Amino acid sequence: MTANPNPPSDNSKQVSLQQIAQQFMVGLQQHFDMLAYSLASRHSVREEDYVRYAKAPLIMPVASRHQNFEQMQAYAGDLMLRQVIGDILNLSVTALNNAHFLLALVKATHAKNEVSKDSQEIAQRSQKKFISAQLDEKFNLLEQDYGVLCEMEDSITSLSFCMHALVKQGGQVRSAQLDSNGELVVEYKAVRLSGGVDAVEAVKPKQSLNAKLSEQRKVFRQGDFIAFSDTELQLILVSVAAFADSLFQSVDSYAKNYKSPN
């Protein structure tokens, strides 16, 4: 990501929340565009093209283990799922790290614009501890040290459980990933359009639409296999923007309302 969670150099006198937030969102858009491109490529590939490219070098490492088109379609889908969820988690951690560093600077400088060497070192020590913390501990530290409650905390944590299931359990949900209701729930944002307008019609120009964000839930139970539709993956990625925006707004609010303990 282009957003940098690390402290600024000694030559930097102040840190711009707006700049860091903008850099993060631009990087997030690049991930979104890459996902859209990958989905389009995956659904556009033809079996004859796959066969042609596979045979082009006239040699294979282990020809007897060559996979056919259907096998590679399934493998590519599984690989994309793991990659996208991994990207979403990495993006979320980057947002958390960015937000924490800014909060630590506000606290160390007592909400002053100038960043002295001493205050930078204090923030840097706090940031080092935060970066090494596990995901759930990051959320706890933000709440305990700064009173920041994170939107979508449960869903980000659920996605980490999904990733564990994909990497360690063949994609199957087990009891360790379930909540007290016996569910593994991933919530994400979706756009609801008025008048029954569908997604295809929504891209037509000069059309007046009434759109608003709504909450959607994807529920897995014990024995289910982790799977998301293409659109669900895209919407979960977009939801990281709402997650990050809420975090950065919390930083802004913390800075504006900060009261020195002295």
Q: According to the model, what pLDDT value does residue 12 have?
A: 42
Q: What is the pLDDT of residue 225?
A: 97
CA dist list (Å): 45 to 48, 50, 72: 9, 7, 11
**Exposed/middle/buried for residue 56 (C-beta within 10 Å: 0-12, 13-18, 19+):** exposed
Q: Is residue 167 pLDDT above 60, yes or no?
A: yes
**Residue ranges per structural domain of the chain:** 17-59+68-257
Beta pairing partners, 218: 186
Residue 101 CB burial class (10 angstroms; 0-12, 13-18, ≥19):
buried
Position with higher pLDDT, 103 vs 192 = 103
Q: Identify the pLDDT of residue 6.
A: 46
Q: Report the length, in residues, of the chain.
A: 262
pLDDT average, residue stretch 135-164: 94
pTM of the model: 0.82
Place of tokens 């700064």: 146
Q: Higher-confidence residue: 47 or 118?
A: 47
Q: How confident is the model at residue 147 (pLDDT cuts 50, 70, 90)?
A: very high
Nearest by Cα to 247 from 106, 104, 92: 92
The chain-wide mean pLDDT, for the chain, equals 87
What pLDDT, on the 0 to 100 scale, is given for residue 111?
83
- Parallel, antiparallel, or unpaired: how do β-strands 211-220 and 184-193 relate? antiparallel
Q: Is the pLDDT of residue 244 over 70?
A: yes
> d(Cα 137, Cα 116) in Å, to the nearest integer?
28
